[in-house]
């Protein structure tokens, strides 16, 4: 862009955006992941309008004037899924604007939500059914609207990778959880089995990851388990400190990292 082209509108104190700049509609799409029935599941909506009417899609929609990216993402989740979910929301990446929407050039800022299994979910105003779907099934048999299959694949890979070095696995759990619950999160997201003894050693031995509550489970089968909560500041990135919209900055806590078993 030739910045010499930038002009000042008469009667306007601020310089104006150059007239040859593209003005693009922007959507936010959310890859909302949870762990349900020991499987990684993704929240999908059935589109109620064209294009791709009737197809499955990620929840999302257009950014409105005066709105920030994170605000748009949470608003769309509320509108389409009827939830103001807890958990960790971070920016995933930006797609487009060319060749991904039949309506023309549209920029899409994808987000990633890692959340505990929040109960479903009322159908949104302009969408059909809203439901959790096992991520592996969708990734394999994927026929999602737009380029949502690719966005979902990127989101799942991001989640898998972040579990290795960040405390974000705790975002899938409730406020208090056992080491075994945390392990089942890893097992579901990675699709592997982990040794409970070694996992417990690593989880409890990592400073800044878990905080003891002093309480234990009761009522279930087997020996009661100690209850923990996520350590303070554990999953706190820059997003929790301000209103700015930008990519995720999450502190690395698991050091050395807990690597996925390699085939």
First-to-last C-alpha distance (Å) of the chain: 47
* Residue range at the interface with a second copy (CB under 8 A); choices 6-14, 173-181, 184-192, 219-227: 6-14
Q: Which does 220 bind (CB under 5 to 8 A by kind): a second copy, DNA, none?
A: DNA
Q: What φ, ψ does residue 30 adopt, rounded to 5°?
A: -120, 120
Distances (CA, A) of 24 to 15, 21, 27, 102: 20, 9, 10, 14
Question: What is the distance between the alpha carbons of residues 117 and 237, in angstroms, rounded to a whole number?
Answer: 22
Q: Which option in DNA, a second copy, none does residue 62 bind, with CB closer than 5 to 8 A by kind?
A: a second copy
Binding site for DNA (CB under 7 A): 178-180, 195-198, 200-202, 204, 216, 218-226, 256, 258-259, 261
Number of amino acids touching a second copy (CB under 8 A): 83
258 binds, among a second copy, DNA, none (CB under 5 to 8 A by kind): DNA
Is residue 160 involved in binding a second copy (CB under 8 A)?
no
- Closest to DNA by CB, 122 vs 201, is 201
96 binds a second copy (CB under 8 A): yes
Whole-number Å distance between alpha carbons of 231 and 138: 33
d(CA 129, CA 45): 6
Q: Which is nearer to DNA, 19 or 261 (CB)?
A: 261
Which of 39, 79, 136, 236 is close enough to bind a second copy by CB under 8 A? 79
Rounded Cα–Cα distance for residues 252 and 165 (Å): 6
Nearer to DNA, 19 or 222 (CB): 222
Contact with a second copy (CB under 8 A): which of 20, 37, 38, 140?
Answer: 20
The CB-of-222 to a second copy minimum distance in angstroms stands at 34
User: Cα(142)–Cα(243) distance, rounded to whole angstroms?
Assistant: 35
For residue 83, the SS3 value is coil
Residue selected from 30, 42, 89, 127 as contacting a second copy according to rule CB under 8 A:
127
Q: Judged by CB under 8 A, does residue 38 bind a second copy?
A: no
The helix (H) or strand (E) run that includes residue 134 is strand 127-134
| Binding residue for a second copy, selected from 105, 123, 134, 237, defined by CB under 8 A | 105
Specify the residue, 66 or 222, whose C-beta has the smaller distance to a second copy: 66
**Longest CA span, the chain:** 76
Measured distance CA(9)–CA(1) in Å, rounded: 19
């Amino acid at each position: 862009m030739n910045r010499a082209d930038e002009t000042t509108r008469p009667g306007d104190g601020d310089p104006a955006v150059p007239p040859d700049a593209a003005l693009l509609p922007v959507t936010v799409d959310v890859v909302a992941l949870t762990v349900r029935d020991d499987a990684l599941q993704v929240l999908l909506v059935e589109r109620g309008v064209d294009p791709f009417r009737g197809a499955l899609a990620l929840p999302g929609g257009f950014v409105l004037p005066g709105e920030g990216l994170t605000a748009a993402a949470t608003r769309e989740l509320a509108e389409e899924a009827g939830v103001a979910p807890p958990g960790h929301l971070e920016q995933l990446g930006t797609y487009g604007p060319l060749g991904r929407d039949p309506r023309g050039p549209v920029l899409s800022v994808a987000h990633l939500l890692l959340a505990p299994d929040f109960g479903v979910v009322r159908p949104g105003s302009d969408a059909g059914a809203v439901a959790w779907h096992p991520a592996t099934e969708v990734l394999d048999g994927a026929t999602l609207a737009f380029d949502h299959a690719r966005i979902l694949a990127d989101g799942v890979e991001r989640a898998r990778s972040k579990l290795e070095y960040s405390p974000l696995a705790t975002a899938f759990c409730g406020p208090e959880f056992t080491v075994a619950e945390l392990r089942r999160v890893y097992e579901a997201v990675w699709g592997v089995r982990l040794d409970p003894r070694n996992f417990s050693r690593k989880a409890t031995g990592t400073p800044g990851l878990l905080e003891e509550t002093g309480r234990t489970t009761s009522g279930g089968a087997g020996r009661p388990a100690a209850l923990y909560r996520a350590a303070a500041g554990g999953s706190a990135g820059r997003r929790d400190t301000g209103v700015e919209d930008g990519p995720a900055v999450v502190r690395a806590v698991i050091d050395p990292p807990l690597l996925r078993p390699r085939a």
